[in-house]
Amino acid sequence: MSRLVSAKDMLNKARDGKYAVGQFNINNLEWTKAILLTAEELKSPVILGVSEGAGKYMCGYKTVVGMVNGMMESLNITVPVALHLDHGSFEGAKACINAGFSSVMFDGSHYPIAENIAKTTALVNTCDVLGLSLEAEVGSIGGEEDGVVGMGECADPAECKAVADLGVTMLAAGIGNIHGKYPENWPGLRFDVLEKIKAQTGDMPLVLHGGTGIPDDMIKTAISLGVAKINVNTECQLVFAEATRKYIEAGKDLSGKGFDPRKLLAPGFEAIKDKVKEKMEIFGSVGKA
Ligand code: 13P
């Protein structure tokens, strides 16, 4: 039986092989099953992201760990899977470590840099001892996610180096990316900033948040410049909602046993599988497990 793993090895391999591992956020059983089955089908490593809000929604981190571990076993998942806290607070990171997550993000980007460094340092030590991966963030990411609103500023490369040098596993750095849909007038990713961050942080696998709606060519350039992990959340929500709406608008829930949740949620489930497959192909992680 395979068990949850730290994201360290998969991201170091991705960095060396010039591809990226997708972090797909989960919200419930259907989401988790769709992502795990697709990763297994495509022989791709994968990271399951859980925001603090989603963790609460799913009845707490222990419930999430139990669900994911149970699914890994009963679906015979053999590819590397990390269960990762997304944009965690310091307390949230500690709670996930205790609950059995294999990876956590501490997002201290809204603190003054000295406080971000102090809190990140405390978690580096804990994660090291337990063999868990730790993601840190510098320069907040724009948009809105679970009530956390960032301004989308670009990270300061010197601050990125200071945080990378603490010994974190991977580093999220703002380069003009935002969560959710990109506005029409979005100027695109700041590759000039990404290059400077890469030059300062050396071998550190870099994380690109806000994967939804970034054009494929920008994704590929970002990977070529050191991005080894890409987070996708909203895009799966959009295709799930669209497929479910179509099913209901077509009146399928009113025909026969179409109201059965196993039927009602099936189109959305398939839509998530298709979306995750599309992303894994663009990220280049297919066959890399
Ligand atoms: P999107 O919702 O824009 O895909 O961003 C996901 C993300 O970055 C999670 O941390």
280 Cα–ligand 1 center, Å: 15
Q: How far is the CA of 127 from the centre of ligand 1 (A)?
A: 24
Dist CA 184 CA 257 (whole Å): 42
State pLDDT tens for residues 243-289.
Answer: 999 999 999 999 999 999 999 999 999 999 999 999 999 999 999 99
Q: How many domains does the chain have?
A: 1
pLDDT, residue 153, reads: 74
Return the pLDDT at 56: 98
Q: CB of 72 within 8 A of CB of 3? A: yes
To 10 degrees, the CA torsion angle through 266, 269, 270, 272? 160
Q: Which of 31-40, 178-187, 206-215 has the lowest mean pLDDT?
A: 178-187
Comparing 109-118, 136-145, 199-208, 230-239, the range with the smallest average pLDDT is: 136-145
pLDDT band at 23 (very low <50, low <70, confident <90, very high): very high
Q: Which has the closest alpha carbon to 159: 115, 190, 128?
A: 115
| Alpha carbons 106 and 171: distance in angstroms, whole number | 10
Mean pLDDT is lowest, of 76-80, 152-156, 161-165, 207-211, for 152-156
Q: Is the pLDDT of residue 1 over 60?
A: no
Question: What whole-number distance in Å separates Cα of residue 31 and Cα of residue 128?
Answer: 30
268 inside domain = yes
Question: 44-62: per-residue pLDDT in tens?
Answer: 999 999 999 999 999 999 9
What is the domain range of residue 17? 8-283
Calculated CA dihedral for residues 194, 197, 198, 200, nearest 10 degrees: 160
Residue 49: name the closest of 107, 104, 116 by CA. Answer: 104
Inside any domain, residue 266 = yes
In a domain, 187, yes or no: yes
Amino acid at 263: K
Nearest in space to 153 (alpha carbons), one of 134, 178, 125, 174: 174
Closest CA to 238 of 208, 275, 210, 185: 275
Instruction: Provide the pLDDT confidence category of residue 26 given band limits of 50, 70 and 90.
Output: very high
- pTM score, whole prediction: 0.96
257 in a domain, yes or no? yes
> What span, in angstroms and rounded, lies between the C-alpha atoms of 91 and 85?
12
Residue 149: inside a domain: yes
- Return the half-sphere exposure (C-beta side, CA atoms, 13 A cut-off) of residue 108: 26
Query: What value does the mean pLDDT take over residues 19-43?
Result: 98
Ligand 1 mutation target, pool 234, 240, 276, most atoms within 8 A of CB: 234
Task: Give the residue-averaged pLDDT of 83-101.
Answer: 98
Any idea which residues carry the catalytic annotation? 86
The two structure tokens encoding residue 189? 């990713």
Distance, CA 121 to ligand 1 centroid (Å)?
A: 25
pLDDT(102) > 90: yes
Q: Which atom of ligand 1 is nearest to the CA of 234?
A: 2
Identify the bridge partners of residue 171 per DSSP, sorted by sequence position. Answer: 136, 206
Percent of the chain residues topping a pLDDT of 90:
90
Cα-trace Rg, the chain:
18
Q: Evaluate whether residue 244 is within a structural domain.
A: yes
* Ligand 1, atom nearest to 105 Cα: 10
Does a structural domain hold residue 38? yes
β-strands 143-145, 148-150 pairing: antiparallel
Ligand 1 atom having least distance to the Cα of 209: 8
Banded pLDDT at 183 (limits 50, 70, 90): confident
Q: What is the pLDDT of residues 111-160, one digit of tens each?
A: 999 999 999 999 999 999 999 999 999 976 766 656 655 546 799 999 99
Mean model confidence pLDDT for the chain = 95
The neighbouring-strand residues paired with 275 are none
For residue 186, the model assigns a pLDDT of 87
Q: Tell me, yes or no, whether 3 lies in a domain.
A: no
Query: For the domain that residue 158 is a member of, what is the CATH number?
Result: 3.20.20.70
